[in-house]
Amino acid sequence: MPARRPFVSLATDFGAAYTAICAGVVHRLAPDATVLVLSDEITPYAVREGAMLLRQALPYLPVGVHVGVVDPGVGTARRPLAIETGRGDVLVGPDNGLLVPAAGRLGGIVRAHVLEDPAYRLPEVSASFHGRDVFSPAAAHVAAGTDVADLGGPADPLPLDVPPPVARDGALTVPVLYTDRFGSPVLGAEAGDVAAAFGDPPPGSPFEVTWTGPGGRPGGVRAPLVGTFGDVAPGEPLLWFDSSGWLGLAVNRGSATEVLGLSGVDALTLRTAPARRGTVLPD
């Protein structure tokens, strides 16, 4: 049976053209590799969004080298890293927490090394395009057989900066991880967090969701916790758990961010709400 071709994926906030340049660098240095552009549409500078994409997607990709670049600190003292995981993948990108959640889904961090040996970079390194000059060359060399320890010294990667959910006084406050392309905020809480705060709410249980927007503007909505969007009428709000297990707030066939005025909101608070008169919750 022939040996499997090395596999490299790319996920960036660059847009198509600049991501294609990175793919070209990989192809040139590792011509035998299969190169997949996982996404070039991550919201610019949205490290949490990029981290959640990698966390969600990489377990479904072949074992390989995965480049993630959402790098507001490009050109600063932040470190470029390669992280080897328990599954055998190597994640390449900036040391800003972007790679760490995905590493956790791929068997955890086995070792991490700084990309500092110039032999594994392009000859000229710009201050603003490390995706092309640093990350893609390193990924190509690893895909071609270079050991991550040859890239530079060992490192302890920084965690992703996400506040944990907080349950207090009958309420659960959760961070907004990112807003998906449908305008639905995806929240940093899983089913266990909701159960710890509210017991085991049956399907359709109503919640009051409140938030504070930019400038101290208060907001709120009543939404049921349901299994799928079709459990509420079009235009109605809902809470649900997405395909990665995260809690989300949505509007069926609409943008919750636009309809509810959630732009710039970074946390939501949930409280159980009494059923409306005449409402019967499912068994």
- What DSSP assignment string belongs to 116-180? --GGGS-SS--SS-HIIIIIHHHHHHHHTT--GGGTS-B--PPPP--PPPEEETTEEEEEEEEE-
Q: What is the pLDDT of residue 280?
A: 37
Q: What are phi and psi of 131, to 5 degrees?
A: -60, -40
Q: Which amino acid is it at 112? A: A
For CA atoms 30, 35, 41, 43, the dihedral sign is negative
Class in CATH terms, 7-150: alpha beta
pLDDT in tens, 3-47: 689 999 999 999 999 999 999 999 999 999 999 999 999 999 999
Q: Bridge-partner residues for 90, per DSSP?
A: 65, 84
Question: Do residues 281 and 208 lie in contact, with contact meaning Cβ atoms separated by under 8 Å?
Answer: no
Q: What is the pLDDT of residue 281?
A: 40
Question: Do residues 218 and 196 lie in contact, with contact meaning Cβ atoms separated by under 8 Å?
Answer: no
d(CA 60, CA 164): 26
pLDDT in tens, 152-201: 999 999 999 999 999 999 999 999 999 999 999 999 999 999 999 999 99
pLDDT in tens, 215-269: 999 999 999 999 999 999 999 999 999 999 999 999 999 999 999 999 999 999 9
4: CB partners within 8 A, 6+ apart: 62
Question: In this structure, what DSSP letter does residue 41 have?
Answer: -
Strands 267-272, 205-212: pairing kind: antiparallel
Looking only at Cα atoms, what is the longest distance across the chain? 72
pTM: 0.93
Q: CA angle 96-97-101, nearest 5°?
A: 160
d(CA 29, CA 24): 9
Q: Is the pLDDT of residue 277 over 60?
A: no
Q: Is the pLDDT of residue 212 over 60?
A: yes
pLDDT in tens, 63-104: 999 999 999 999 999 999 999 999 999 999 999 999 999 999
> CA dihedral defined by 101, 184, 242, 203, rounded to 10 degrees?
140
Tell me the CA distances in angstroms from 14 to 22, 98, 137, 161, one per residue in order.
10, 15, 17, 22
Domain locations in the chain as residue ranges:
7-150, 166-272
Q: Does domain 166-272 sit in CATH 2.60.120.260? A: no
Question: Do residues 219 and 264 lie in contact, with contact meaning Cβ atoms separated by under 8 Å?
Answer: no
d(CA 100, CA 174): 20
pLDDT in tens, 102-158: 999 999 999 999 999 999 999 999 999 999 999 999 999 999 999 999 999 999 999
